[in-house]
Amino acid sequence: MKLVIVESPSKAKTIQKYLGKDFSVVASVGHIRDLPKSNKKAIDIPDGFVPHYEVSPGKEAIVATLSRLTKKAGEVYLATDPDREGEAIAWHIAQACGLKRPKRVAFHEITPAAVREGIAHPRAIDQNLRRAQEARRVLDRLVGYDLSGLIWKKLRYGLSAGRVQSPALRILVEKEREIRAFIPEDFWVITAHTRSPDNTSLDFVCTKELREEAEAKSILERAREGTWSVVDIKETEVSRAPSPPFTTSTLQQAASSRLGFSPANTMRIAQKLYEAGLITYMRTDSVTMSAEAKEAATRFIVRRFGERFSEPRTFVTKSKNAQEAHEAIRPTDVTREKAGLSSDQQKLYGLIFRRTLASQMASAKLLRTRVLANIADQSLPDFVANGSRLLFSGWLEIDPAARQDDTEIPKLSRGDALTIVSVDCEAKQTEPPRRYSEAGLVKELEKRGIGRPSTYASILKTLLDRNYAEKEGRALRATETGEAVSTFLETHFGTVVSDTFTADLEQKLDDISNGEREYEKTLKDFYTPFSKEVKSKENLEKISTLGDAPSDIRCPECDASMVKKLGKSGTFLSCSRFPECKGARLADGSEMPAEEEIGEPCPECHGKLVRKSGRYGPFVACANYPKCKFIKGSETPTTGVRCPLCNTGEMVERRGRFGTFYSCYDYPKCKNAIKAKPTGARCEFLRDGKPCGALMMEGTKTIPERCSDKTCPNHNPHLLEKKR
């Protein structure tokens, strides 16, 4: 039997269907090994930055299953994703299972032909790619561990910093500073609403920048009384060429602006489409398409729209190191118009399909029109209407939404009379710079060379999860916590969080993957000066305040002035006389919510239990905190499932920094916790002849109801033997 190992169960299912009964396809369910949490054990710096990996918690059963299957197999193929991370996972599987000469295969698309082609041409694990991924992982650990430890001591416990996350945060913080420094100016906009000779509505806007209200009113009065006509028309024929097929970053940007998907959600959906064999690999910075795909697209375009709509194109990749995959993101079958199981998958697939076909179509031809209008004596500043007429749709035929809002200008001639419907004058103010949307930040990161396609989604997710940024509509706003962390790093580690330094380090990682640079030298050149810089900051005084509060906000206890401080839930205002006075207010100056007694004694110190509000919602705790740290539990309803560990409390829903989880109500006495909602059933999988007995959890679309015990094979049912 030939064994093929992939990362994802759904990917395994698709490939199994293509390879048939002579092959057995199983999944590692992502990474199986990682660096331990303790940095002292993780990396041997003196010995050349040697990482010491451990089996990831919860993956013990998977590794045992893979080891058993590889020993029985005649041949082992490692078919993890075709990028650095996939190469690293393949190497970890080989190391954990003791494989001497595993066959490495890569599928840039999961189709019958591509899978058979990959299996027919195996290679060895690319150690350059693997070492590049290892260097990235080690660098991120060293930077994150050292910087985070310093921030804990000097700013606040629990904060963190990262090699790529911190420059991204700095970009958001710089935008907030620009917005605060912006001084708005008043101006007036006058709009004439007219009708053309063919009774088409047409709006003209005054071309002069009006900064004085008196001048605006004068123009408004004369505009309302005058007789209007067209004084000039400028028409220019322009061609609008289609964009290249999607790369990772452009897909994330388009999905964000047109579908409202976050980058992380876009990548999750794209992963499902790839694993189902519907699109090519979705982590790429290449814009090229195979000759076969372009020919198929051309045939489809000619058949559907006609010969004049077809214009085969070859796009050149601008990225210096487009190494993540060989092709742009495209449908594996460019003639398949609709695909995907869920509505989100169908929407994203449709976006990819239209972009791919449009890239091989003729340019759209438009007549850009600029019409100037004025009253009879032309004593007013000219009023203008801009728009266009579509002469030939070209690629817009398949993607009409890409034209966006574009006013259709009717056919007009100089001297044509215009009927005034109304003239409006609107007072406005100049607006501050716009905050980045998720799509905008991805574009900016790519422009500055910060991160790589596979990291953009995780960068944004980290900033949001750690409360360094928050979303306001589609805009990203740096929080006060994020600003405090970024300011500290900019002040004391300006080089490390700079664009040039980060981009240069990314280039060196690319050089390692190309075999042009040594792993140890790269890490040594970076870490030697970096570690010295961190040590030199150990004597910095702890930053207890972030500045003074507004002078009109006074302490509710003693009427003294107040200062900004950083707490677990963000910033708050504290009395400047602390600790003599413990008066505090919320960050906006309002009063702190009162702690409501619930009428029960604390079982630990016999003090009073009070209802509090924290970052993740309401909870009940001892009023004598921090002397007594008893927490009764969440205020959310219980699940009705008794905790199997203590057999007294019930499992309740809680919120943590990584989302929702379920734990025993009697925390901290009982620390039983699971990720998914318990069903109340117990696992019946036989272990050493006895049922496991752990709680069963609700399943997902890819994994059915499963055991909550990570060491039980039933925790990942896809890995159980087929006979079960």
Q: Any idea which residues carry the catalytic annotation?
A: 281
SS3 labels along 119-168: HHCCECCCHHHHHHHHHHHHHHHHHHHHHHHHHHHHCCCCCCCCCCHHHH
Q: Percentages helix, strand, coil for the chain, rounded to the nearest 5?
A: 35, 25, 40
Of the candidates 480, 472, 473, 444, the one whose C-alpha atom is nearest the C-alpha of residue 459 is 444
* Residue 16 to residue 713: CA distance in whole angstroms: 21
453: its two tokens: 């396609």
Half-sphere exposure of 196 (CA within 13 A, CB side): 17
Asked whether the beta carbons of 409 and 230 are under 8 A apart, the reply is no
Phi, psi of 213 (to 5 degrees): -65, -40
Provide the CA 521 distance to its chain's centre, in angstroms: 32
**Tokens 């806007």 found at:** 205
Phi, psi of 640 (to 5 degrees): 80, 5
Q: What is the per-residue burial (b if ≥16 Cβ within 10 Å, else e) of 253-288?
A: bbbbeeeebbbbbbbebbbbbbbbbbbbbbbbbbbb
Q: What is the per-residue burial (b if ≥16 Cβ within 10 Å, else e) of 490-505?
A: bebbeebbebebbeeb
* Residue 501 to residue 507: CA distance in whole angstroms: 10
Give SS3 for 441: helix
Give SS3 for 714: helix
